[in-house]
């Protein structure tokens, strides 16, 4: 058996000309390269590049990018000619993939509670209109204004539910949706959030629907109805692009009426339920 060695032996940090860098086949990031790129660019403009990208020196003075596709893309879009890089010794293909994967898997979303706290503190400290303050916070901490606004809204999520997000018992989006749906009833929010931590997404989404239809129902009644009243049936349907576009546009129209986002999936579920409730 061949003993695999994934360790980096040699490393050297230097500024490398961007036009000499090619993306390695072993770079594991194949999607979302452009996600939140504006935030990364803002951060680079503000504080510079905190973590250099990782390259392997190839033949003819060219370099192969192993880790840091988004950072490289951001530098390109910022019209930079060089980028701080760590040049490592050549590795076998598997080691390259492992290194790239390990680097990427350790990435985390913005720390939930810390980001809420800093946005709150800055929002209360800065002066000017709401928009001015949000733009300034966004610039200062290197995230988009939309993300700042979201974190300001997250302040209203009950602390106990924020803790559940920090402990990864529920997603931040679930906490936000549940708090929105049952605001300002903290007791209901906390109970439904606890329920959400124990069941699949579809179940707690149903609880939101039940809550919307029966605003006076207690949390226990909502949970009981959403967990007993429906049965999951999973199947896939292929639509032509034209049909899908129509469904998407109808879902958007309904979303406007209900003043919330309605996915195509939810819209289809609604029209099935409406059809069945018409009776004979």
Partner 1 sequence: MGNICPFCDKEFTNILDHISIRHRISSIEDYESKVKEKEDKKIKIRAFLEYSKEVTERLRRGEISPEKLRELRDKWMKDNHLIW
DSSP 194-255: HHHTTS-HHHHHHHHHHHHH-TTS-HHHHHHHHHHS-----------HHHHHHHHHHHHHHH
Minimum CB distance to partner 1 smaller for 123 or for 195: 123
Q: State the minimum distance, in angstroms, from the CB of residue 245 to partner 1.
A: 24
Residue 192: other Cβ atoms inside 10 A: 27
> Using CB under 8 A, which of 153, 199, 247, 268 touches partner 1?
153
> Using CB under 8 A, which of 53, 74, 134, 165 touches partner 1?
134
Which of 42, 50, 38 shows the shortest CA–CA distance to 139? 42
User: With binding defined as CB under 8 A, does residue 244 bind partner 1?
Assistant: no
> Using CB under 8 A, which of 33, 36, 180, 203 touches partner 1?
180
Q: State the minimum distance, in angstroms, from the CB of residue 77 to partner 1.
A: 29
Contact pattern for partner 1 over residues 203 through 242, marking x by CB under 8 A: ------------x---------------------------
Which of 214, 169, 235, 159 shows the shortest CA–CA distance to 190? 159
Q: State the minimum distance, in angstroms, from the CB of residue 160 to partner 1.
A: 11
Stretch that binds partner 1, among 1-9, 16-24, 123-131, 221-229 (CB under 8 A): 123-131
**CA torsion through residues 41, 42, 46, 52, sign:** negative
> Using CB under 8 A, which of 101, 176, 268, 270 touches partner 1?
176
Distance of CA 81 to the CA centre of its chain: 30
Stretch that binds partner 1, among 13-21, 68-76, 151-159, 227-235 (CB under 8 A): 151-159
**CA torsion through residues 127, 130, 132, 137, sign:** positive
Residues touching partner 1, count (CB under 8 A)? 22
User: With binding defined as CB under 8 A, does residue 259 bind partner 1?
Assistant: yes
The answer to whether 88 touches 21, Cβ cutoff 8 Å, is: no
> Using CB under 8 A, which of 37, 87, 260, 271 touches partner 1?
260
Strand, helix or coil for residue 15: strand
> Using CB under 8 A, which of 179, 197, 205, 226 touches partner 1?
179
Strand, helix or coil for residue 57: strand
Residue found under tokens 């999520």: 157
Residue found under tokens 């708090």: 179
Residue ranges that bind partner 1, judged by CB under 8 A = 120, 123-124, 130, 134, 149-150, 152-156, 158, 176, 179-180, 183-184, 186, 215, 259-260
């Amino acid at each position: 058996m061949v003993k695999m060695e994934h360790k980096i032996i040699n490393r050297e940090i230097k500024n490398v000309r961007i036009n000499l860098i090619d993306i390695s086949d072993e770079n594991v990031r194949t999607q979302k390269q452009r996600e939140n790129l504006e935030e990364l660019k803002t951060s680079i403009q503000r504080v510079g590049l905190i973590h250099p990208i990782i390259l392997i020196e190839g033949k003819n003075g060219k370099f192969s990018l192993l880790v840091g596709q988004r950072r490289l893309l951001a530098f390109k879009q910022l019209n930079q000619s060089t980028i701080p890089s760590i040049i490592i010794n050549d590795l076998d293909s598997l080691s390259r993939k492992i290194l790239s994967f390990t680097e990427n898997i350790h990435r985390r979303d913005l720390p939930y509670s810390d980001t809420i706290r800093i946005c709150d503190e800055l929002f209360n400290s800065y002066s000017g209109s709401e928009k001015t303050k949000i733009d300034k916070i966004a610039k200062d901490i290197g995230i988009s204004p939309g993300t700042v606004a979201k974190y300001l809204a997250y302040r209203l999520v009950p602390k106990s539910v924020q803790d559940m997000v920090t402990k990864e018992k529920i997603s931040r989006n679930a906490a936000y949706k549940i708090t929105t749906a049952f605001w300002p009833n903290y007791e209901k929010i906390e109970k439904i959030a606890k329920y959400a931590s124990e069941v699949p997404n579809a179940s707690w989404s149903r609880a939101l629907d039940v809550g919307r239809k029966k605003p006076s129902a207690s949390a226990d009644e909502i949970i009981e109805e959403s967990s007993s009243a429906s049965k999951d049936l999973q199947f896939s349907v292929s639509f032509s692009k034209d049909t899908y576009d129509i469904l998407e546009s109808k879902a958007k129209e309904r979303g406007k009426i209900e003043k919330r986002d309605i996915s195509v999936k939810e819209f289809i579920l609604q029209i099935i339920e409406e059809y069945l409730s018409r009776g004979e």
